[in-house]
């Protein structure tokens, strides 16, 4: 979808309702603080040859006690160590990990955000009305394992790719579009923030933005262009990406929406009947529709 394409008004209205209902969204400058620093430079190839425009981490503070006190975050964090990030290596999923998946889904399905998303998808004829059946649909698109690499066993799933991140042949970073995981990996010094991505000076983000295009490196590899929401709850991201996934049967769907002050594109790609990847991409903020 070209940037000049019109904003999807119906979807924007739904996503703004999700935004309004997202009471678990963290407050910038209060619950967390970010340090944007400089604009990321051009990178050729996947190796870490990027100019570092950020001498200190992106996150200077996150209220971890608050994260742990909210069920959806707490159950989400429990999932972050359940996967082998290298594709081509079959995942070994334990009964405890399956239970953690269910606890997380149960927690987000109790929120007004996911209830709103469910209601909308039922109205559109895209989801089962029974909550238990809808949960089963969510499990299949997010947690059902599939084989992403050409060789090896079932090595990936939508949740792992989008929220945790993966590596491909040891030469490419894929996914990792979640701010909590980014913060956790940055704290362990497994991720190095290189700076923000912007088309021009007018697109320069600020510390209060809830969406960021960025560049980072990990384990000697650099991801030149990436993006993630900042501070939003796990249920908001799950709801948003799930809606876009269910509304389209295309292999790749890109939809332009206006959420709060942000003009953005939501990209969702299928992998069979599951989510292959999904992420937001900032076009402009502060009501500057360029």
Is position 50 within any domain? no
Res 289: pLDDT: 37
Is position 161 within any domain? yes
Is position 122 within any domain? yes
Q: What is the pLDDT of residues 203-223, one digit of tens each?
A: 788 999 999 999 999 888 899
Res 49: pLDDT: 62
Query: What is the set of active-site residues?
Result: 161, 177, 223
Q: What domain count does the chain have?
A: 1
Res 4: pLDDT: 47
Q: What is the pLDDT of residues 100-159, one digit of tens each?
A: 999 999 999 999 999 999 999 999 999 999 999 999 999 999 999 998 888 778 889 999
Give the position of tokens 């499990």: 139
Q: DSSP per residue over 126-193, as a string?
A: -S-SSHHHHHHHHHHHHH--B--SSSSS--B-HHIIIII-EEETTTEEE----HHHHHHHHHTTS-EE
Is position 48 within any domain? no
Half-sphere exposure of 228 (CA within 13 A, CB side): 27
Res 151: pLDDT: 76
Is position 279 within any domain? yes
Is position 114 within any domain? yes
CA 95, 101, 107, 109 torsion-angle sign: negative
**Which regions of the chain are under pLDDT 50?**
1-4, 287-290
Which residues form the domain of 239? 9-40+56-284
């Amino acid at each position: 979808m070209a940037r000049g394409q019109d904003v999807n008004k119906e979807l924007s209205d739904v996503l703004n309702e999700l935004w309004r209902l997202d009471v678990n969204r963290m407050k910038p400058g209060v619950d967390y603080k970010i340090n944007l620093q400089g604009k990321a430079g051009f990178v050729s190839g996947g190796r870490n040859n990027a100019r570092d425009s950020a001498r200190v981490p992106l996150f200077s503070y996150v209220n971890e006690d608050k994260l742990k006190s909210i069920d959806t975050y707490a159950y989400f964090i429990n999932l972050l160590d359940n996967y082998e990030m290298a594709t081509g290596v079959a995942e070994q999923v334990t009964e405890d990990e399956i239970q953690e998946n269910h606890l997380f889904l149960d927690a987000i399905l109790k929120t007004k955000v996911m209830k709103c998303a469910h209601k909308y998808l039922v109205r559109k004829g895209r989801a089962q009305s029974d909550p238990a059946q809808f949960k089963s649909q969510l499990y299949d698109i997010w947690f059902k394992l599939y084989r992403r690499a050409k060789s090896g066993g079932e090595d990936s799933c939508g949740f792992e790719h989008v929220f945790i991140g993966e590596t491909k042949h040891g030469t490419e970073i894929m996914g990792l579009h979640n701010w909590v995981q980014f913060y956790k990996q940055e704290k362990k010094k497994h991720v190095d923030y290189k700076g923000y991505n912007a088309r021009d000076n007018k697109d320069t983000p600020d510390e209060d933005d809830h969406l960021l295009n960025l560049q980072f490196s990990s384990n000697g590899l650099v991801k030149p262009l990436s993006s993630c929401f900042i501070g939003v709850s796990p249920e908001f991201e799950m709801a948003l990406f799930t809606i876009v996934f269910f509304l389209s049967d295309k292999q790749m769907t890109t939809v332009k929406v206006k959420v709060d002050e942000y003009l953005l594109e939501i990209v969702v790609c299928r992998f069979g009947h599951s989510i292959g990847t999904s992420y937001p991409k900032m076009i402009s903020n502060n009501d500057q529709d360029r």
